[in-house]
Amino acid sequence: MKLLKIIIFIFLPVLNGWTIKVTAQSFIPLTKGMIISKSVIIKQGNYRLTAGDSINHPLITIIGNNLTVDFNHAFLKGNGSQLFPNQFHGLAVLIKGNNITIKNARISGYKIALMAQDCNGLTIENCDFSYNYRQRLQSNWQHEDVSDWMSYHHNENDEWLRYGAGIYLKDCNKAVIKQNKITGGQCALMMMRCNDGLVTDNDFSFNSAIGIGMYRSNRNFIMNNKLDFNVRGHSFGFYNRGQDSAGILAFEQCNDNVIAYNSVTHSGDGFFLWAGQTTMDSGLGGCNDNYLFKNDFSYAPTNGVEVTFSKNFIINNIINECDNGIWGGYSWNTSITGNTFFKNKTAIAIEHGQNISITGNKFNDDIQDGIKLWARRTQPADWGYAQKRITTSMNYLILDNLFENENNAINATLTDNIAIDKNKFIHCKKDIKTDSSVTNLKIQSTSLVDSAVYVPEILGTWKNTNIPVTNFSKGRDQMKITEWGPYDFRYPIIFLKKIDSNHTYHFDVQGLKGKWKIKKSKDVKNISQQSGSFPASITAQQNGTDVQLELEYIGEAFTDQFGIQQAAGKKHSFSFRDFKPDIKWQVNWYGWDAAHDPNKNYQVFKTVFNNKPLQSEQVKDINYTWWGAIGKGLPADSFAVVATANIDLAAGTYILSVTADDLVKVFVDGKLVIDFWDVSKYKYDEDMHHEATIKLQGKHNFRIEQAENAGFATLIFKIKPLK
């Protein structure tokens, strides 16, 4: 027998239409612009509601105190006709008030699924905020594109919002975030000035940047979560940059947080902590006294744990097969105790550390060093931190550790006061490696550092002391990064691993239970296998400039990379394309002086192109990254590039893209199609990337002009057909 519910609607005029205010307990439908101010249960169903461009105009506002909104598994879907996640916009739900509970919601297709501001006692439980905004990544299997790097430095102005989020909390204390799922986005849970919260039993995996992010957030408990495969900037065997993605991010004055019993594998960094710009400028503060206990931080392409310019506790964690197990640059008063390290490049790497206790750890098969300690002889002149603090590398206690099959168990330079005692070395090539720059090395002495470690009270009462079980395969080779982020093993994919010297493409074909077959191909020959089951490896030799393979899958139901459900037993196409038109670029480099400053007058600047080039070359691809001088005897700064080519193209619509630091223009047949010539608009790494969509047919002349001011420089150009 169904209960009759009374629904009361009060219609309030607003500037852009009508707002629905809900004032009684009821089963209610979701409508655009509604305000919920009492406890309600949402009517089940699928709701397609398009948000406005600005997050200042949420679709739904929940405001009040002591209320519960049960979404009753209703599905709120945004994006309208926009398929690609980088086109998603708007805010679905805004929450303001105290002691509010949100549960059983499913929201996708927005820039931000749920935002809460100035809420005390907020609870979000059993919600799914998957498949919201994420950038289209520009890095590919062979080359990194630096415009993919994340930047978090000044979130006082909410700069993190440009990356979107499943959940964004701002000034929310004592929040409880439990049993939620966020996948297929860029950032899952982002916490801005949030204190004394509990984040537990969530699955925030397979996002292209951050699982959980904290900024000026203190005394939070992050327990028993799945935070795996939050990663970008990795191509196995080619580069492992991570691009500041992380399972957990603690950035700028985050203190006294307890991170325990989490699975944080296969992420850019497992745990990424940086003291913040405040500390870098003043030498004060930090992200201090955070307690990392019994987490799995394995298989990070960069650092399993990064803790810099701060003091923290890293206790009983699993850290396997990372580039650095722990990176602790300028860390101080830090305890590293009871952890297990296996097959990292370097297990513990600390530059300019002070008063560090490394005790009771197990090191096995690390490639270069078990423990590496060092310093630089001079400090950067523009670091306030280095000018206001003593930064000598000094005072280490290395006690009661087991080193087995290490290259260098302990490797130290430019460090003062190292006490080493009661360690066990088994089959290490070198037990202790030092040079004359190490002073006061004391073997069998434990007098320098107090190794006592406090234990947060919550760990004595917390019942679930197990890391969540996952079935992911071990190793960094499991991270396959597509243009939309990490592959999640839930849909069929053909993934390029390498192209060998014989122009043979090597692919992995992965998916669920089912069968695949080659449906169509172009500009390839000698395909090694025409059909099969999953997983499979196939090869195909290039035989033209537009390599294409289209495969067909039939088998189990699955969820594709955009969160769309695909039925079982139906044919589904998935494909690979590598468009490489035959191009001969003429590239010329020029110098410029203050009289030809490109930032002041472009017309005056471009007269430098009438001069004799500093250097010239012909190349097939425009793919340059300069960390210093552009060549022997050539400048690192104040240079310009002109690249020209004639390209013959079949009729179609093409995407032209360029990543450039600092200024760039792209012309097609003399017409300006990309114009980024205002350095004031260059704030973040992603601002280096620019695109244009254009219809082309036949032979066209392309011209790229770039001007570099100072520092890092890059110029990458791509052209590909619009799918």
Q: Report DSSP state, residue 271.
A: E
Residues 263-288, mean pLDDT to the nearest whole number:
96
**Contact criterion met (CB below 8 Å) for 689 and 145:** yes
Length of the chain: 723
pLDDT on residue 532: 96
Q: Do 538 and 635 reside in the same domain of the chain? A: no
Q: Report DSSP state, residue 84.
A: S
Residues 452-462, mean pLDDT to the nearest whole number:
85
Residues 190-217, mean pLDDT to the nearest whole number:
98
**Distance separating alpha carbons of residues 106 and 274, to the nearest angstrom:** 33
Q: Do 673 and 707 reside in the same domain of the chain? A: yes
**Distance separating alpha carbons of residues 408 and 431, to the nearest angstrom:** 6
Residues 686-697, mean pLDDT to the nearest whole number:
95
For 141, 264, 331, the CA distances from 578, given in Å and listed in that order, are: 11, 33, 45
**Is residue 606 a part of any domain in this protein?**
yes
Asked whether the bond before 662 is cis by omega within 30 degrees of 0, the reply is yes
Residue 228: name the closest of 137, 297, 128, 141 by CA. Answer: 297
Q: Do 638 and 682 reside in the same domain of the chain? A: yes
**Distance separating alpha carbons of residues 164 and 167, to the nearest angstrom:** 9
Residues 48-73, mean pLDDT to the nearest whole number:
95
Q: Do 607 and 695 reside in the same domain of the chain? A: yes
**Distance separating alpha carbons of residues 380 and 531, to the nearest angstrom:** 58
pLDDT at 19 over 80: no
**Contact criterion met (CB below 8 Å) for 211 and 248:** yes
pLDDT on residue 193: 97
pLDDT at 455 over 90: no
Q: Which residues, at least 6 apart from 592, have a Cβ–Cβ distance to it below 8 Å?
A: 598, 605, 608, 638, 639, 640, 707
Residues 676-697, mean pLDDT to the nearest whole number:
94
pLDDT on residue 152: 85
**Is residue 693 a part of any domain in this protein?**
yes
Q: Do 552 and 658 reside in the same domain of the chain? A: no
**Is residue 59 a part of any domain in this protein?**
no
Structural tokens at position 679: 């350095």
pLDDT at 58 over 80: yes
Label the pairing between strands 572-579 and 546-555.
antiparallel
pLDDT on residue 141: 85
Q: Do 528 and 591 reside in the same domain of the chain? A: no
**Distance separating alpha carbons of residues 269 and 322, to the nearest angstrom:** 9
Q: Which residues, at least 6 apart from 25, have a Cβ–Cβ distance to it below 8 Å?
A: 5, 38, 39, 40, 41
Single residue among 579, 604, 639 that ends a domain in this structure: 579
What strands, in cross-sheet order, belong to the sheet with 546-555?
A: 531-533, 514-522, 546-555, 572-579
Mean pLDDT over each residue of the chain, to the nearest integer? 93
Q: Quick one: which H or E segment has residue 505?
A: strand 504-510
**Contact criterion met (CB below 8 Å) for 667 and 713:** no
pLDDT at 18 over 50: no
Chain-centre distance for alpha carbon 242: 7
pLDDT at 320 over 50: yes
Q: Do 644 and 673 reside in the same domain of the chain? A: yes
pLDDT at 3 over 50: no
**Distance separating alpha carbons of residues 134 and 204, to the nearest angstrom:** 14
| C-alpha gyration radius of the chain | 28
Q: Using CA of residue 676, residue 679, residue 683, residue 686, what is the dihedral sign?
A: positive
pLDDT on residue 196: 98
Q: For 121-177, how does the pLDDT look when each residue is reduced to its tens digit (9 = 90+)?
A: 999 999 999 999 999 999 988 889 999 999 888 898 899 999 999 999 999 999 999
Q: Do 593 and 689 reside in the same domain of the chain? A: yes
pLDDT at 445 over 80: no
Q: Do 591 and 711 reside in the same domain of the chain? A: yes
**Distance separating alpha carbons of residues 272 and 629, to the nearest angstrom:** 31
Residue 540: name the closest of 602, 494, 571 by CA. Answer: 494
pLDDT on residue 15: 33
**Distance separating alpha carbons of residues 708 and 146, to the nearest angstrom:** 15
Q: Quick one: which H or E segment has residue 178?
A: strand 176-178
Q: Do 606 and 708 reside in the same domain of the chain? A: yes
Single residue among 553, 579, 605 that ends a domain in this structure: 579
Could you tell me the pLDDT band of residue 26, with boundaries at 50, 70 and 90? low
Of 15-29, 385-399, 616-630, the poorest mean pLDDT is in: 15-29
In 6-53, the DSSP E strands lie at 9-14, 17-22, 27-28, 34-36, 40-42, 46-48
**Is residue 430 a part of any domain in this protein?**
no
**Distance separating alpha carbons of residues 559 and 544, to the nearest angstrom:** 33
* Residue 630, CB-side half-sphere exposure with 13 Å CA sphere: 27
**Is residue 531 a part of any domain in this protein?**
yes
pLDDT at 327 over 70: yes
Q: For 503-562, how does the pLDDT look when each residue is reduced to its tens digit (9 = 90+)?
A: 999 999 999 899 999 999 999 999 999 999 999 999 999 999 999 999 999 999 999 999
pLDDT on residue 674: 97
Burial class of residue 123 (count of CB atoms within 10 Å of its CB; 0-12, 13-18, 19+)? middle
pLDDT at 83 over 80: no
Percent of the chain with pLDDT over 70: 95
pLDDT at 263 over 60: yes
Of 152-156, 362-366, 471-475, the poorest mean pLDDT is in: 152-156
Single residue among 543, 560, 579 that ends a domain in this structure: 579
Q: Do 601 and 535 reside in the same domain of the chain? A: no
**Contact criterion met (CB below 8 Å) for 385 and 362:** no
Tell me how many degrees the CA angle 541-546-548 measures, rounded to the nearest 5.
Answer: 65
**Distance separating alpha carbons of residues 308 and 328, to the nearest angstrom:** 5
Residues 282-295, mean pLDDT to the nearest whole number:
96
Neighbouring-strand partners of residue 426: 404
Q: Do 549 and 590 reside in the same domain of the chain? A: no
Could you tell me the pLDDT band of residue 8, with boundaries at 50, 70 and 90? very low
Could you tell me the pLDDT band of residue 210, with boundaries at 50, 70 and 90? very high
Percent helix, strand and coil across the chain, each to the nearest 5: 5, 45, 45
pTM of the model: 0.93
Neighbouring-strand partners of residue 319: 341
**Distance separating alpha carbons of residues 487 and 491, to the nearest angstrom:** 9
Count of domains observed in the chain: 2
Can you give the CATH number for the domain in which 497 is found?
2.60.40
pLDDT on residue 300: 98
| DSSP three-state, residue 384 | helix
Residue 192: name the closest of 219, 156, 223, 166 by CA. Answer: 156
**Is residue 550 a part of any domain in this protein?**
yes
Residues 264-278, mean pLDDT to the nearest whole number:
96
**Distance separating alpha carbons of residues 201 and 181, to the nearest angstrom:** 9
Residues 176-183, mean pLDDT to the nearest whole number:
98
For 553-596, give the DSSP string. Answer: EEES-EE-TTS-EE-TTS-EEEEEEEE-----EEEEEEE--GGG
**Contact criterion met (CB below 8 Å) for 144 and 137:** no
Structural tokens at position 207: 């996002």
* Residue 608, CB-side half-sphere exposure with 13 Å CA sphere: 25
Residue 509's domain comprises 491-579
Neighbouring-strand partners of residue 524: 542
Can you give the CATH number for the domain in which 630 is found?
2.60.120.1560
Backbone angles phi, psi at 204, to 5 degrees: -115, 70
**Distance separating alpha carbons of residues 626 and 637, to the nearest angstrom:** 10
Q: Report DSSP state, residue 65.
A: E
In 216-264, the DSSP E strands lie at 221-223, 234-235, 239-240, 246-251, 258-260
Chain-centre distance for alpha carbon 80: 26
| DSSP three-state, residue 147 | helix
